[in-house]
Amino acid sequence: MGRSRKLKLKTYELEIESLSHEGRGIAHLEDKVIFVSGALPGERVIADRCFSRAKFEEADVTKVLVASEKRIDPKCAVFGICGGCSFQHLSSGDQIEAKWEWLKDAFSSQAKVKPKNWLEPLQVQDWGYRRKARMGVRFVVKKDKVLVGFREKKSGWIANMDRCEIMHPSIGEHLVALGECIKKLSIKSQIPQLEVAVSESDTVLILRHLAPLTAEDEQILSDCEKQLNIIFYTQSGGENTVKPLNKTAILTYSHPEYNIIMAFLPTDFTQVNFLLNQKMVSLAMDMLALNDNDEVIDLFCGLGNFTLPMARYAKHVVGVEGDAGLIERAKENAKKNNISNADFYKADLFKEVDGFEWFRGKTYNKALIDPARSGAIEIVELLPKLGVERLVYVSCNPATLARDTEKLIEIGYKLETAGVMDMFPQTAHVESIALFTK
């Protein structure tokens, strides 16, 4: 078996020319592209190589010789080490401007198009916004300490962090206390992660454990629940082993503008930023311009995040989703919110759908799609068959949005409006929204 070569230390002095779509500075040296973490356009920096290939290399800034006017001091003590954030050296205004430029570039370079109108970037809060996450846990013998946090950028180690500025304060301010709690457990070295789910009223932590908890361990966790005002669930294996330690949490978030309360399970997918989500849904509603004659289809509907607000204004809404659990929650949420004009169906939208009841012989004049990062090229091609005249596309990946835009234009749609939304401030994640008309 061959052994990988250890990369020789190499230090550069570089002029940073632009910013990559991952938020890294771009420089050129000796016919190679150098991607530099922590660098901004216009800067001259000293950087150490950390990765090398034939046509490009990656490096980390060790010293800024000439700083950009846009550079600011990071808020977090472990910024640059922790892999949770990549953009704290830019102001929130400059972050969203960069994301807007990335979306523009994706449209122009791949789809060869730009929208007739650009939306103002949508931002809400810069810190303490994140309500869903998986955080690593590790007992470090040499430090005699349990670390709780995100993993370091360049390794699988857990960053040694006392707090997390982007996590909701109910968790972000209590990482040390959580580590001290886990350290008391008899199986402290068998706890690899915590999954976080924060609702508008409760905070749930799903404790993954690779060995059984003792009665004493359960009491320690119960005491921690009271101390930190959290609710522990435990997970000994797959997702079907997730169960409450003591009590079942009732997790909800709301859409006050539409008088809707959404219930969800700790393991369900929800948007991480509740305030931005409310603004995003309102924006999508405005773009769809719904009325009581509209037949609407919501593809990749999840637990009805867009579907139920749309049902308040449309004649009828159909939500389609591949996860059976989310479909059940969507139906329950419709019932609890007294919504009777919304139907939900389970279907794998990446496979043949011609035989499904919601597709066969049906027409919808308006649609919303909110797919995963891989986009929705398979379902986009079917929209003309469904009669869709007005489409709102919510995307978490400019590259696949641009690819799907190219297809939409090919089959007769026009890109009317687009914009970016800061769902994940301090990171390079780009959330965007676009309106297409037939």
CA-atom Rg of the chain in angstroms: 24
50 is in an annotated binding site: no
224 is in an annotated binding site: no
321 is in an annotated binding site: yes
> Is residue 105 helix, strand or coil?
helix
Distances (CA, A) of 5 to 8, 51, 52, 226, 324: 9, 11, 11, 51, 46
Fill in the DSSP letter of residue 82.
B
Alpha helices, DSSP H, located in 17-114: 92-106
370 is in an annotated binding site: yes
| 329, two tokens | 């929650």
Please give the backbone phi and psi of residue 67, each rounded to the nearest 5 degrees, phi first. -90, 150
Alpha helices, DSSP H, located in 158-199: 169-172, 175-183
Residue 301 is among the residues annotated as catalytic for this protein: no
- Cβ 98 vs Cβ 90: under 8 Å: yes
85 is in an annotated binding site: yes
- Cβ 438 vs Cβ 390: under 8 Å: yes
Residues near 139 by beta carbon (within 8 Å), at least 6 away in sequence: 145, 146, 147, 182, 183, 188, 189, 191
271 is in an annotated binding site: yes
292 is in an annotated binding site: no
Please give the Cα distance from 89 to 51 (Å, whole number): 22
- Cβ 438 vs Cβ 145: under 8 Å: no
300 is in an annotated binding site: yes
Please give the Cα distance from 259 to 256 (Å, whole number): 5
Please give the Cα distance from 223 to 241 (Å, whole number): 22
| Annotated catalytic residue, options 181, 224, 301, 396 | 396
> Is residue 69 helix, strand or coil?
coil
Binding residues for S-adenosyl-L-methionine: 271, 300, 305, 321, 348, 370
- Would you name the residues annotated as active-site residues? 396
Q: Provide the annotated binding site.
A: 76, 82, 85, 164, 271, 300, 305, 321, 348, 370
| Annotated binding-site members for [4Fe-4S] cluster | 76, 82, 85, 164
